Amino acid sequence: MLAVHFGAGNIGRGFIGALLSKSDFTINFVDVNKDVIDALNEKQQYKVVLADENKEELLVKNVSGINSLANPEQVIEAIEKADIVTTAVGPNVLPIIAEIIAKGLTQRKSITDRPLNIIACENMIGASTLLKEKVFEHLTDQEQAEFVKLYGFPDSAVDRIVPNQVNEDLLTVSVEPYYEWIVEDTEIKGNKPAIDGLTYVNDLTPYIERKLFTVNTGHAVAAYLGHFLDYKTIKEAMDTELIQDWVKGALNESGEALIHMYQFEKENHQAYITKILNRFVNPYISDEVTRVGRGPIRKLGGNDRLIRPASLYLEKVKKEPIYLAQAIAAALMYKNDQDEEAVTLQQQVEEKGYEQTLREISGLSGDHPLIPVVMNQLEQLKNK
């Protein structure tokens, strides 16, 4: 069985590749990073190391790479033959890979009517749905009508902390032992891909929102406030009582909103939070706040990990989300010359001020009650 996976980065190699390989898939990684692709073709295998005291190693075999910039025709050919297509490229890259996926599906359809599922494994609500929209922009009306019956784009939620890598070998990837991969099965075309460790559900919404608004919310709070206080890693930040309290405060707020929305058992949700807080302080992982805080414009989006739980808390719980607002303020203040979005964000702040920048990036209406709460927290942070 052949898997074509876009994005041979941390989560691509360290999670999706590892799981697909365990279920006997051969994996064609597609990437624009020449060094990684060359190394995959040369070695045809790589190591995944579990970041705990045992450092158990898994050898991922039968892998190869395609450089999509140099050899787009090979990508098209791979999609023609694939049994599954997955991505882990980052939400902003989905529109960029859509065209070649459309070409691959078009070529496939000219040869076979075999169904195919394309699963975007990104930290975003509705990532596969977005990819489908972008792919369909490259198809005629007739192709769209045919493809919709054969090609599924099921949404998914993926959870495994894979930090930036500092190994001698370029391909080796160190990952936390914990993982969760959930896929919405209502959109699947043909047989459900049999992948060990993947869970199918009928309705992904509670799962993706619980994950994004707990793991990623907590992570973002630790990253932006950690950076504000000059900490370099998530663990360093979390080892500080003050930041730990801020993260817990934010997760209590997002938790109350989630419990209200999805009727989760309060105790179960608290246990979920506690487990996540322990994952953040894994001593075998060094995760930079700059990785976790990367892309602040995306992270300040209206449906993302900070604004959406804060808005839900206001709307459903009817209280002011002080801790989430503080993290939103820290995200607005986030400066990092190495991060393109952080640079653009600060240019926007310089030109338009914090309040207008927040409105434009988050899409919150001018009179949204969250805005004064954030502005108040911002003033307090400036004085810290």
Ligand X SMILES: NC(=O)c1ccc[n+]([C@@H]2O[C@H](COP(=O)([O-])OP(=O)(O)OC[C@H]3O[C@@H](n4cnc5c(N)ncnc54)[C@H](O)[C@@H]3O)[C@@H](O)[C@H]2O)c1
Binding-site residue positions? 3-14
Out of 219, 227, 235, 308, the residue judged to bind ligand 44H by CB under 6 A? 219
Measured from the CB atom, the residue of 102 and 125 that comes closer to ligand 44H is 125
Kindly state the smallest distance separating residue 2's Cβ from ligand X, in Å. 17
Picked from ligand 44H, ligand X, none, the partner binding residue 88 (CB below 5 to 8 A depending on kind) is: ligand X
Going by C-alpha positions, the residue among 294, 317, 334, 297 that lies closest to residue 370 is: 317
Number of residues binding to ligand X, judged by CB under 6 A: 25
Q: Where does residue 191 rank: exposed (0-12), middle (13-18), buried (19+ CB within 10 A)?
A: exposed
Six-digit token string for 44: 């045809």
Only one residue has tokens 């009650």, namely 369
Kindly state the smallest distance separating residue 282's Cβ from ligand X, in Å. 12
Measured from the CB atom, the residue of 28 and 216 that comes closer to ligand 44H is 216
Q: How are strands ordered across the β-sheet holding 63-67?
A: 63-67, 26-31, 2-6, 84-87, 116-120, 151-152
Out of 5, 109, 160, 189, the residue judged to bind ligand 44H by CB under 6 A? 160
**Maximum distance among all Cα pairs of the chain, rounded to whole angstroms:** 65
Out of 37, 118, 162, 373, the residue judged to bind ligand X by CB under 6 A? 162
- Please report, as residue ranges, which positions from 15 to 44 form the binding site for ligand 44H (by CB under 6 A): none
Measured from the CB atom, the residue of 342 and 375 that comes closer to ligand 44H is 342
Out of 87, 174, 216, 357, the residue judged to bind ligand 44H by CB under 6 A? 216
> Does the protein bind ligand X through residue 236 (CB under 6 A)?
no
CA 231 to CA 287: how far, in whole Å? 11
Strand partners, 243: none
Kindly state the smallest distance separating residue 114's Cβ from ligand X, in Å. 24
In the chain, the DSSP E strands lie at 2-6, 26-31, 45-50, 57-61, 63-67, 84-87, 116-120, 151-152, 156-159, 173-175, 180-184, 198-201
Choices 23-31, 198-206, 244-252, 289-297 (CB under 6 A): range interacting with ligand 44H = 289-297
Question: What residues contact residue 34 under an 8 Å CB cut-off, 6+ apart?
Answer: 67, 70
β-pairing, 45-50 with 57-61? antiparallel
Amino acid at 66: I
Q: Is 192 helix (H, G, I), strand (E, B) or coil?
A: coil
> Does the protein bind ligand 44H through residue 189 (CB under 6 A)?
no
> Does the protein bind ligand 44H through residue 235 (CB under 6 A)?
no
CA 123 to CA 355: how far, in whole Å? 26
Picked from ligand X, ligand 44H, none, the partner binding residue 67 (CB below 5 to 8 A depending on kind) is: none
Number of residues binding to ligand 44H, judged by CB under 6 A: 10
Kindly state the smallest distance separating residue 375's Cβ from ligand 44H, in Å. 25
β-pairing, 151-152 with 45-50? unpaired
CA 249 to CA 322: how far, in whole Å? 8
Measured from the CB atom, the residue of 30 and 102 that comes closer to ligand X is 30
Out of 48, 79, 88, 329, the residue judged to bind ligand X by CB under 6 A? 88
Going by C-alpha positions, the residue among 259, 265, 273 that lies closest to residue 309 is: 259
Measured from the CB atom, the residue of 103 and 294 that comes closer to ligand 44H is 294
Kindly state the smallest distance separating residue 171's Cβ from ligand X, in Å. 11
Only one residue has tokens 């920048």, namely 357
Picked from ligand X, ligand 44H, none, the partner binding residue 215 (CB below 5 to 8 A depending on kind) is: ligand 44H
> Does the protein bind ligand 44H through residue 123 (CB under 6 A)?
yes
| Residues at the site binding ligand X, with contacts judged by CB under 6 A | 6-12, 30-33, 68, 88-91, 93, 96-97, 122-123, 158, 160-162
| Residues at the site binding ligand 44H, with contacts judged by CB under 6 A | 123, 159-161, 215-216, 219, 292, 294-295
